[in-house]
Chains A and B, each alone.
Chain A
Amino acid sequence: MRLNGGCLADFARGCDVLAAGGGGYAAATVPMTQVALDTQGPVDVVDLADLPSDGLVMPCAYLGSPAVWVERIGTGRESIAIRRQVEQHFGAEVVAMMCTEIGGSNGPASVALAANARLPLADADGMGRAFPGIEQVAMQIAGVHPGPSVLADDHDHVVLVQADTGDWLERLARSAVKAFGDTGVSAEYVMTVEQARESVVVGSISRALRIGRVLAGCAGTPVVTAVRRLAAEFSGICLMEGKVNLVSPLRTNAAPRFAANLRSTALLDGINGDDGRCLRVEVGHEYLAILEDGEVRATTPDIITLFDVYSGDVVSTDSLRYGQRVVVLALPCPEVWLQPAGLELVGPRAFGLDLDYHPLAAP
């Protein structure tokens, strides 16, 4: 499979659906990806099974503050310097780039970084969705060491951080990003293809593309119909069509973990066929849980996504506001997250909710 400019819009739409309301809009990185594909040519999307076992897979993502990134939009070529450093450190060849986080803006960005580094892109990612934490990746569950962290900025300054523990790695990497001016590209959890086959979420790139194509195929039909179609094709549930009746003020707290430092609650009143129903949505950096009539309908790590009834665009957590008409979709998360270690890392409690994971349930 090859990703070219022609399928970028569908792919980006799929990345937004998988973002569960977080991750930053994919549209933000579509222009740079378009430029990269136009100048470097299409990117090959490859199965891990088809790559040499001892080659390296390099997960890559933009990090830092969006407020900086909208000014320092980078070169898209940061991945070249990172690749060079990774190959030098490991003494082996990088055979594929990997998307760290398929959900949101890092989805298309990984395609741009692969195109510029002239690497194929593995049909995989680290999350199968969006999460706020660097360590909230499948590789962490599989026991892949996150280090070294290789960071680069737009001027090809490169920092390699080596540390024994994840905490030190993050602490040192963070100070490097601060020195860059709060923006950069980083690679962590570099692994061999053999390791990757057991340690990542497989099929993420093609999944995002398929989601986008289903939505494109529904063009002209009501958004609720398109979302039901997505639910049917991806084993999810279209939970409700409703209007946002309340969004509580954002509460920030000095939680020990970044993932849990932001919370609000929204209430949705059912409309059209769903008159009389009411959903409560717990919101963090992503949508975390849905409750109805005192029962849990969906929780993280399953993917909860809201669509605007009129535009069909996904509604990110920070743009949710009173009066919006939305359709609520829940898609099952990758299997890796359902094992005990997975739920400990990305289940409801990891985000500060006093709630156990609840398998998706239709009302």
Chain B
Amino acid sequence: MSYRLGVALPGSRSAAAVLDHDGRVVVAVEHETETAESVLDAVLDAARPHGITASKIDHVVFAVTDLRVMDALAAATGYWRGWPGRLAKVAAVRLGAATTSVPPLTLWPPEMRDRVVVASTCLSGGAMLDGSDYEPLDIEGLLAFARQISGTVGAVAITGVFSSVTPRHELAAAEVIREEMGASGAILLSHEYGGLGLVERENATIMQAALTAPVAEEAAKLLTAVNQRGLSRAEVFLARSDGTIATLDNAVTHPLSLLGATDATSVVGAALLSDEQDALVGLTKVDGTVRAVCALTDGRPRMTVGHTKVTGVPTGLSIPALVPIHASVEEAIDRAKDAPGDLPLLLVGPGARTFVQSLSPRIVGTALAGTVRVESPVDAEAAAAVGAAAAPVVGEARRIVPLNSPHLDEIRAAVREAARASAMRAGADPAKVALVCVEEKPLAYLSDPTVMMRVRAGGPPRAGWMSGKAKAAVHAREDAR
């Protein structure tokens, strides 16, 4: 028997839960602490009477941030909750010389820009919508810039015009810079972040370049906490903004995708605990009030369309679409919906039970305006941890596709394959990866029909490095003790 352990560290209160391989919650805890160590100890203590020892846990999944982190990052202290402000020094390269109407870093608050970016340049390069060169790639300019920044930066962020059509110039530029600068520092390419919107994609790429090192350091501390508790056989995953998970190594190279993770796993956890795929989820505070409502659709949180600002910088990041309480909970419920039909309202978080108790008995179990019933499922307090433990590993590929291309079928197949590969890189079980969503959205006002193709593929996390007989032997040894 193998188990998954989920841990949510959203703020002053933390939660943890152990799920068996059928996705049933075996134990769940929720209490006032901010440290991974204490909540891990608490959940392992609670699990022991069920015969669950550390070595039987295959996966440990952390959901480490919520949306408030963005405010913390913007604060003058630069203290990103849990991730102290050791931001890497970044050099920014934009490929697209005729894009100077908004030069790189224009929209950044000066304080943030000064802390993060040491140099930036706008060079000839990039692609047209049809995949041809927007401008020839300026190799000489890249070499000169690489020499200028060599030794002064921790990371380079490269963003090319229409890299979502073809990343050709971003890849070539990375090679030039790597050759000139040697092995030091990370090189991040904007097409991996994906999507449309040059400035937002560039901002996100620079931001991720700055965050990768400190986030990796913090993640290493989580690894230590895990190993110290005898969980060294488990593979560690981190939860992401969309309620999916990725291996720690993979996740830390895309740090922006961690934002909003605890809100997302709260919604995923609510779905699992109440066995609902379509509902509304009320996220509660410890005092029993609802801080926001999020729609649960097909077992996933509804997401914003992007345009999320991080520390005042527009990034195009998509995060859970939380509807804050302006007038009343009923009104927030209504605004969170897509259509007038009533839905179940699932309360999760530390104040879930208090909220439900505060309602008149007449309402509970029947309805609050706009709902078919109000429910606080068992273990609702630890929903964020349950959701983290239960979440799938998902990879995504986005690409702009011209519908009248003679290679349309090949392009579509390649995007599907890229999504599958992305899921496997994120730690999905290669034998179980399947497409979960294929979407083609037409782009408006174009002379030739063109779509933004988005494919998501995913599956359960891969089995740990130790499986089969080796694991059985260890278990036998432990059980004998």
Residues of chain A whose beta carbon lies under 8 Å from any beta carbon of chain B: 31-32, 34-36, 64-68, 70-77, 112, 154-155, 174, 177-178, 181-182, 243, 245-246, 310, 321-325
Residues of chain B whose beta carbon lies under 8 Å from any beta carbon of chain A: 96, 98-103, 106-107, 128-130, 134-135, 161-162, 196-199, 326, 331, 334-340, 443-448, 450, 452
Known: A31-B102, A32-B102. A323 touches B336 (CB 8 A): yes
Contact of A73 among B102, B336, B340 (CB under 8 A): B102
Kindly list chain A residues whose C-beta atoms are within 8 Å of the C-beta of B100: 75-77
Can you show 18 pairs from A to B with CB atoms below 8 A apart? A31-B107, A35-B103, A36-B101, A67-B443, A67-B452, A71-B161, A71-B196, A74-B99, A112-B101, A154-B98, A174-B447, A181-B128, A182-B445, A182-B447, A243-B334, A245-B340, A324-B335, A325-B335
Is B129 in contact with A155, judged by CB distance below 8 angstroms? Answer: no
How far is it, in angstroms, between the C-alpha of A264 and the C-alpha of B197 when the chains are bound? 27
How far is it, in angstroms, between the C-alpha of A74 and the C-alpha of B198 when the chains are bound? 11
How far is it, in angstroms, between the C-alpha of A35 and the C-alpha of B122 when the chains are bound? 15
Question: Nearest chain A CB to B281's CB is how many angstroms away?
Answer: 16
Among B102, B103, B107, B331, chain A packs the most CB atoms within 10 A around the CB of B102
Known: A178-B447, A181-B129. A154 touches B99 (CB 8 A): yes
Kindly list chain B residues whose C-beta atoms are within 8 Å of the C-beta of A323: 334-338
Given contacts A64-B445, A321-B338, A322-B337, 15 further A-B contacts (CB under 8 A): A31-B102, A35-B102, A66-B444, A70-B196, A70-B199, A71-B198, A72-B162, A74-B99, A154-B99, A155-B135, A174-B447, A178-B448, A181-B128, A243-B334, A323-B337
Question: Nearest chain A CB to B105's CB is how many angstroms away?
Answer: 11
Question: Nearest chain B CB to A31's CB is how many angstroms away?
Answer: 5
How far is it, in angstroms, between the C-alpha of A42 and the C-alpha of B448 when the chains are bound? 39
Is A75 in contact with B101, judged by CB distance below 8 angstroms? Answer: yes
How far is it, in angstroms, between the C-alpha of A155 and the C-alpha of B340 when the chains are bound? 50
Is B447 in contact with A31, judged by CB distance below 8 angstroms? Answer: no
Known: A67-B196, A323-B334, A325-B335. A73 touches B444 (CB 8 A): no
Kindly list chain A residues whose C-beta atoms are within 8 Å of the C-beta of B446: 65, 67-68, 182
Contact of A75 among B99, B106, B130, B448 (CB under 8 A): B99
Question: Nearest chain A CB to B331's CB is how many angstroms away?
Answer: 8
Kindly list chain A residues whose C-beta atoms are within 8 Å of the C-beta of B102: 31-32, 35, 73
From A321, which residue of chain B is reached at the shortest CB distance? B338
How far is it, in angstroms, between the C-alpha of A243 and the C-alpha of B101 when the chains are bound? 38
Question: Nearest chain B CB to A156's CB is how many angstroms away?
Answer: 8
Kindly list chain B residues whose C-beta atoms are within 8 Å of the C-beta of A66: 444-445
Kindly list chain A residues whose C-beta atoms are within 8 Å of the C-beta of B339: 322
Is B98 in contact with A74, judged by CB distance below 8 angstroms? Answer: yes
How far is it, in angstroms, between the C-alpha of A181 and the C-alpha of B129 when the chains are bound? 7
From B445, which residue of chain A is reached at the shortest CB distance? A65
How far is it, in angstroms, between the C-alpha of A73 and the C-alpha of B106 when the chains are bound? 13
From B164, which residue of chain A is reached at the shortest CB distance? A71
How far is it, in angstroms, between the C-alpha of A317 and the C-alpha of B107 when the chains are bound? 27
Contact of A72 among B106, B161, B448 (CB under 8 A): B161
Kindly list chain A residues whose C-beta atoms are within 8 Å of the C-beta of B130: 181
How far is it, in angstroms, between the C-alpha of A135 and the C-alpha of B337 when the chains are bound? 40
How far is it, in angstroms, between the C-alpha of A241 and the C-alpha of B319 when the chains are bound? 29
Is A32 in contact with B101, judged by CB distance below 8 angstroms? Answer: yes
Kindly list chain A residues whose C-beta atoms are within 8 Å of the C-beta of B340: 245-246, 322
How far is it, in angstroms, between the C-alpha of A179 and the C-alpha of B196 when the chains are bound? 21
Kindly list chain B residues whose C-beta atoms are within 8 Å of the C-beta of A310: 326
How far is it, in angstroms, between the C-alpha of A285 and the C-alpha of B447 when the chains are bound? 18
Kindly list chain A residues whose C-beta atoms are within 8 Å of the C-beta of B129: 68, 71, 181-182
Kindly list chain B residues whose C-beta atoms are within 8 Å of the C-beta of A67: 196, 443-446, 450, 452
How far is it, in angstroms, between the C-alpha of A181 and the C-alpha of B161 when the chains are bound? 13
Closest 10 CB pairs of A and B: A76-B101, A32-B101, A67-B443, A65-B445, A154-B98, A178-B447, A323-B335, A70-B197, A31-B102, A74-B101
From A65, which residue of chain B is reached at the shortest CB distance? B445
Question: Nearest chain A CB to B242's CB is how many angstroms away?
Answer: 20
